[in-house]
Amino acid sequence: MPCSSALAPFVIAALVALGPLPAGAQNNVAPPPAAISQRAKLCQMCHGRKGLPTVKNTPIIAGQHESSLLIALQEYRNGARTDDLMGRIAKNLSEDDMKALAA
């Protein structure tokens, strides 16, 4: 996946720059919408804003069912799915992040 791996350092840097979630988010309290929309912008870099992915070889996630997206993210995190890029991204997401992003 030459295109997306070229982006990887930037994506990792962006995730680090976003920093840890506010403490409340760790306790099943929905994170503030601002934090989620920042993360969603990151996803849109590759998956596209509404529909077509912007990076080659990136699957379309718009329009997919909320629960399938959540399962996909959980699988990346627990290793049932392996992708160098999405695996690293999913490891940085909390359960609540994943639910909010999927929604």
Nearest CA-CA partner of 40 in 83, 88, 85, 103 = 103
Is 84 a binding residue for ligand HEC by CB under 6 A? The answer is: no
Segment lying near ligand HEC (by CB under 6 A), choices 16-24, 25-33, 68-76:
68-76
Is 35 a binding residue for ligand HEC by CB under 6 A? The answer is: no
CB of 28 to ligand HEC, least distance (A): 19
Is 86 a binding residue for ligand HEC by CB under 6 A? The answer is: yes
Q: Please give the distance of CA 5 from its chain centroid, rounded to a whole number.
A: 15
Is 7 a binding residue for ligand HEC by CB under 6 A? The answer is: yes
Report yes or no: 27 and 41 within 8 Å, Cβ to Cβ.
no
CB of 19 to ligand HEC, least distance (A): 15
For 19, phi and psi rounded to 5 degrees?
75, 180
Is 21 a binding residue for ligand HEC by CB under 6 A? The answer is: no
For CA atoms 3, 81, 92, 98, the dihedral sign is positive
